Amino acid sequence: MTEDGKRRWKGPGKGAKKNSSGRSLGERKIIAHNAANESSKRWIERQLADPYVRKAKDAGYRSRAAYKLLELSEKARLSFKGKRVVDLGCAPGGWIQIAQELGASEVVGIDLLELDPIPGAHIVVGDIAEAQHVAEMLSGLTGAPDLVLSDMAANTTGHKSTDHLRTVALVELALEFAIEHLAPNGVFLSKVFQGGATKEVLERLKAHFRDVKHIKPPASRAGSPEIYVVAKGFKSQGTRRWR
């Protein structure tokens, strides 16, 4: 302890364990902390320079992602007016705002993260993989959804194969939900990454929808691997309960 009462770091000491690179635990923590700070700094700089971030703030949207849905709806000629909409992975709420703005009659959403309420929307904090959470979300609709939206993305690990598998799993989960609950002629829109839907997912989409295409909206950063799949004209499975 120094005279001014502050603890001074003196290094690992004689008994400190080293890793294979020769760095002590303390040194590795400092390096990791600095790397995280640099990453945060780059993210902040990118946000400040991003025109969509400024536009979203000025327009009162909760995220720049709002413009992705606006552009996707325009490019794919999606109609929201009078439709029932489900937003999977809805935090922080930008897509719900756009769905309402484009005239959706009912909008519900679910996310693992808590978000501030949005007037007129029924939002559930929960897991799409949990039946009770899905039922709670669907209780906000008066009938089968006409559009199922998913902007879900897994937290990245830095390991390309692992990240790809986790992303595919979310797309498959969202598609399963859409196939089970969509109204006839409904629409499914989902983030897919990695150059588009996998062969297996694409085959399922084509089996259940009349029109399937990939779109990368201008609001999606050029360096981002994200791309969206839009499947229109859901082929009804006959008489079935929607929930």
Please provide the DSSP assignment of 11-41 as one string: -S-TT--B-TTS-BHHHHHHHHHHHHHHHHH
Q: 161: helix, coil or strand?
A: helix
Answer yes or no: 81 catalytic.
Answer: no
Which H or E run includes 145? none
How far apart are the C-alpha atoms of 152 and 131, rounded to whole Å? 18
What pLDDT is attached to residue 219?
87
Pick left, alpha or beta for residue 195 (phi over 0 → left; psi -120 to 50 → alpha; otherwise beta). left
Can you give the C-alpha Rg of the chain in angstroms?
22
How far apart are the C-alpha atoms of 12 and 26, rounded to whole Å? 7
Task: Please report, in angstroms and rounded to a whole number, the separation of the first and last CA atoms in the chain.
Answer: 64
What pLDDT is attached to residue 7?
40
CATH homologous superfamily, domain 64-234:
Vaccinia Virus protein VP39 (3.40.50.150)
The two tokens of residue 223 are: 């360096």
Dump strand ranges (E) for the chain: 84-88, 106-111, 121-125, 147-150, 187-191, 209-215, 228-234
Nearest to 202 by CA among 180, 175, 224: 175
The one catalytic residue in 17, 57, 160, 191 is 191
Task: Answer whether 85's CB lies under 8 Å from 145's CB.
Answer: yes
Q: pTM of the predicted model, to two decimals?
A: 0.76
How far apart are the C-alpha atoms of 30 and 36, rounded to whole Å? 10
Nearest to 212 by CA among 198, 232, 182: 232
% of the chain surpassing 70 pLDDT: 72
Query: Is the N-terminal amide bond of 92 cis, ω within 30° of 0?
Result: yes
Cα torsion angle, 135, 103, 210, 216, sign:
negative
What pLDDT is attached to residue 38?
56
Sole residue written with tokens 């993260």: 113
For the chain, which ranges sit under pLDDT 70?
1-52, 156, 160, 194-196, 221, 237-243
Nearest to 90 by CA among 57, 112, 59, 58: 112
The two tokens of residue 197 are: 């839907």
How far apart are the C-alpha atoms of 190 and 179, rounded to whole Å? 13
Beta bridge partners of 92: none
